[in-house]
Chain A
């Protein structure tokens, strides 16, 4: 044993205590962060999970093929336009209640079906023309209030005249549910549709595709520019006032509020270049401008972290500076650049403000199919849904948030995975 005098022992104890305290603080702050994250995710999850299901009503329907098929036996869009699909749906729906004869009652009964149910029916026959002339059983969407009531999210304690569903309507729904004519089924339309005025047919796909197209442009635009800029700044720029000025400004750019990039995009891309409004192309360019400084900062840091001996080795072999950078330094800096890029992309994915300025806040019912077609993005979709009056949009925005967070988690895990994979070589 080493002899210790009292003074030393005291100091040792103090030091150990300080260390313990620091450890406890660390654990506390981490747990606090985790608890907050869990609370957030659980509350969003609880309000959003029910959007995975949707109330459907079973209907018996027979449609005469002569009404919709042309002479060759193909589905005729022109003829289908003239068919009263909504009428077919409500007539079939009303047969569940033979006792109802009054017009006003019939109307409030019809309101229980989604106003898009007729369209759904038409779509079904367009896909399956063989089912025409047959008695078929088909599940069509109920209205959003019907849906909310079946999920127990409809507040019945409110005075009847202030409610969107009357007591009579609620009774009908109870009856339909008891007879198993209406059921909660998996909400496919949420995953295959774009936006809609009716919550029951609104889906996230349009926004997901819009975000994907936008981010594709962002990465194609930002990554090469940012990497080239950082290689230039690290390897070719002569130190001096100009370089310092550029450096300071890049750091400033990273701190500029994102809406400013939206304004820039509005005046430059839309105003000056005349690019189409609401297009993923413009959105991607705006977000790219916003992401470039982030990637430059990360790339420069990781290029600087590559040992200079590697560059020296390449130069001493007679490689040019460009070859040394491209063949040796960039591959070694790639994991860092990649991490920076994905962090920048994740930031861009969650960004709404620049998109507001260039018109990507729009009600778009078609899933975008090109970089120049009108589109919206996931955060914007969430923003618009959370702004809607219908209660059913509330759960849909929560589910969309879960989707967005899921995307972010996937992107970040990808960053970690790729970094691990490339780092093994070193």
Chain B
């Protein structure tokens, strides 16, 4: 059932993930609101990326990984048998830590997703879609004259925005970002952050980040993970100024992590 009052996009209940016999996250229950930016922070190995990858079932690819608990997207359990991960991933896009454009032309990069999902049947529609996606990703002015160039020849920041545009092109509801700026310089990071804020008007964004400043700058809500547990989840300003938990306090003030 969709909980319309709070505009919840994702509801997760007691999600635990195991890699073989090793538990990576432990009974995480977290609700994510629509058209907002939710940041997941925490020290390395705390399970935040694992949790993120549960949301579009990218963990399926890892052979010995098993997921327990419930994850509801718009009220539907995404781990139920009726849900095809292929269609789920069209709804829940993902941007990775290292920019990973395909070693093909810029146009082909953006057009690939729509093509396999049957969006944009002819060349003109596809061209429109590519232009629109690049525009949303704030990249159109930089690349519109060289759509046929190889995407891997662009700068790191541009490549990452290509990846964002590529995710947008299949018209998802949610965009997952796994430390999207950790391989980028501060200027490129600023551009991506700006882009995230503007995208959050139309998309639900969940971002994993190592940088607490970044979480503070871009997100409305923040969840703090530690050793596979969700320690605290709340409004970003509150987490950063007056957290309820001592551990959160220690982490954001830099005592560990």
Contact with A along B27-67 (1 / 0, CB 8 A): 00000000000000000000000000000101001010000
Q: Across the interface, do A309 and B113 meet the contact criterion of CB distance under 8 Å?
A: no
The smallest C-beta distance from B175 to any residue of chain A, in angstroms, reads: 10
Q: Are B61 and A315 in contact (CB under 8 A)?
A: yes
Q: Within 8 Å of chain A (Cβ to Cβ): is B215?
A: no
Residues of B within 8 A of A327 (CB): 112, 116
Residue of B87, B88, B116, B170 touching A323 (CB-CB under 8 A)? B116
Residues of chain A contacted by B103 (CB below 8 angstroms): 310, 332, 425-426
* Contact digits for A389-426, partner B, Cβ 8 Å, 1 yes 0 no: 00000000000000000000000000000000000011
Separation in Å of the B102 CB from the closest CB of chain A? 6
The reply to whether A316 and B150 form a contact with Cβ atoms under 8 Å apart is no
In the bound complex, CA of A327 to CA of B116 (Å): 10
A318 touches B89 (CB 8 A): yes
Q: Which B109-124 residues sit within 8 Å CB-CB of chain A?
A: 112-113, 116-117
Bound complex: CA A239 to CA B170 (Å): 33
What does DSSP make chain A's interface, helix, strand, loop or mixed?
Answer: helix
Task: Report whether B100 and A313 are in contact in the complex, using a CB–CB cutoff of 8 Å.
Answer: yes
A425 and B102 contacting across the interface, CB-CB below 8 Å = no
Name B116's contact: one of A238, A307, A318 (CB within 8 Å).
Answer: A318
Chain A residues within an 8 Å CB radius of B94: 312, 316
B176 (CB) vs chain A CBs: closest residue: A316
Q: Contacts of B100 on A, CB cut-off 8 Å?
A: 307, 309-310, 312-313
Query: A158 on the interface (CB 8 Å rule)?
Result: no
Q: A317 contacts B170, CB within 8 Å?
A: yes
| A319 close to B (CB within 8 Å) | yes
The number of residues on chain B lying at the interface, defined by a beta carbon within 8 Å of a beta carbon of chain A, is 28
Residues of A within 8 A of B89 (CB): 315-318
- CA of A165 to CA of B102 in the docked complex: distance in angstroms? 73
Interface residue B166 (Cβ < 8 Å from any Cβ of A): yes
Q: Residues of B contacting A238 with CB < 8 Å? A: 63
In the complex, the answer to whether A320 meets B98 with C-beta atoms within 8 Å is: no
Query: Number of A residues contacting the other chain (C-beta, 8 Å)?
Result: 21
Nearest chain B CB to A242's CB is how many angstroms away?
14
- Interchain CB contact under 8 A, B86 and A320: yes
Q: Which residue of A lies closest to B150 (CB)?
A: A425
Q: Which residues of A contact B117 (CB under 8 A)?
A: 318
The distance in angstroms between the C-alpha atoms of A310 and B170, with both chains bound, is: 17
**A312: which B residues are within 8 A, CB to CB?**
58, 61, 94, 96, 100
Does B163 have its Cβ within 8 Å of any Cβ on chain A? yes
Known pairs A239-B63, A318-B117; A309 contacts B98 (CB<8 A)? yes
Contacts of B87 in A (CB 8 A): 318
Chain B residue at minimum C-beta to C-beta distance from A319: B116
Across the two chains, which residue of chain B brings its CB closest to A332?
A: B103
A301-332: which residues lie under 8 A (CB-CB) from chain B? 307, 309-320, 323, 327-328, 332
Write out the residue numbers on chain A whose beta carbons fall within 8 Å of the beta carbon of B228: none
CA distance A310 to B94 in the complex (A): 13
- Which of B86, B96, B101 is the one whose CB lies under 8 Å from A318? B86
| CA–CA, A311 and B62, complex, Å | 12
Cα(A289)–Cα(B168), bound, Å: 46
- Measured between beta carbons, the chain B residues less than 8 angstroms from A328 are 102
A residues 270-310 near B (Cβ < 8 Å) are 307, 309-310
Docked-complex contact A316 and B93, CB < 8 angstroms: yes
Which of A307, A317, A332, A426 is B112 in contact with, Cβ under 8 Å?
A: A317
Contact A313 B116 (CB under 8 A): no
Q: How far is the CA of A328 from the CA of B104 in the complex (A)?
A: 9
Return chain B residues, CB-CB under 8 Å to A320.
86
Instruction: Confirm or deny: B90 has a beta carbon within 8 angstroms of a beta carbon on chain A.
Output: yes
Nearest Cβ on chain A to B146's Cβ, whole angstroms: 16
Report the minimum CB–CB distance from A414 to chain B (whole Å): 23
Q: How far is the CA of A315 from the CA of B84 in the complex (A)?
A: 12
CB distance from B109 to the nearest CB of A (A): 9
Contact check, A317 vs B116: say whether CB atoms are below 8 A apart.
yes
Query: What is the distance, in angstroms, from A306's C-beta to the closest C-beta of chain B?
Result: 10
- Asked if B102 and A310 sit within 8 Å, CB to CB, the answer is yes
Once bound together, how far apart are the Cα atoms of A384 and B76, in whole Å?
73
CA distance A18 to B151 in the complex (A): 45
Q: Which residues of A contact B17 (CB under 8 A)?
A: none
Residue with the greatest number of chain A CB neighbours at <10 A, chosen from B61, B94, B101: B61
Q: Known: A239-B63, A318-B170, A328-B102. Is A313-B96 also a contact (CB below 8 A)?
A: yes
B24 at the interface (CB under 8 A from A): no
Residues of A within 8 A of B167 (CB): 316-317
Report how far A108 CA is from B112 CA in the complex, Å: 80
Most buried by B among A309, A315, A316: A316
* A313 in contact with B102 given A318-B116, A323-B116, A425-B150 (CB within 8 Å): yes
Chain B proximity of A218: nearest CB distance (Å) = 31
With both chains docked as a complex, state the minimum distance between the C-beta of A263 and any C-beta of chain B, in angstroms. Answer: 38
A 25-61 binary contact with B (CB < 8 Å = 1; else 0): 0000000000000000000000000000000000000
Q: How far is the CB of A237 from chain B (nearest CB, A)?
A: 10
A317-B93 contact given A327-B112, A425-B150, CB 8 Å threshold: yes
Contact status of A317 and B61, CB under 8 A, knowing A310-B100, A310-B102, A425-B103 = no
In the complex, chain A residues 220-260 whose Cβ is within 8 Å of any chain B Cβ: 238-239
Q: What 5 new A-B contacts, CB under 8 Å, besides A313-B163, A313-B166, A317-B170? A: A314-B112, A315-B61, A315-B89, A327-B116, A332-B103
A-B contacts, 22 of them at CB < 8 A, read: A307-B100, A309-B98, A313-B100, A313-B102, A313-B166, A314-B102, A315-B61, A316-B89, A316-B94, A316-B96, A316-B167, A317-B89, A317-B93, A317-B170, A318-B170, A319-B112, A323-B116, A327-B116, A328-B102, A425-B103, A425-B150, A426-B103
Which 4 pairs from chain A and chain B are nearest by CB?
A318-B90, A316-B94, A309-B100, A318-B89
Residues of A whose CB lies within 8 Å of any CB of B are 238-239, 307, 309-320, 323, 327-328, 332, 425-426
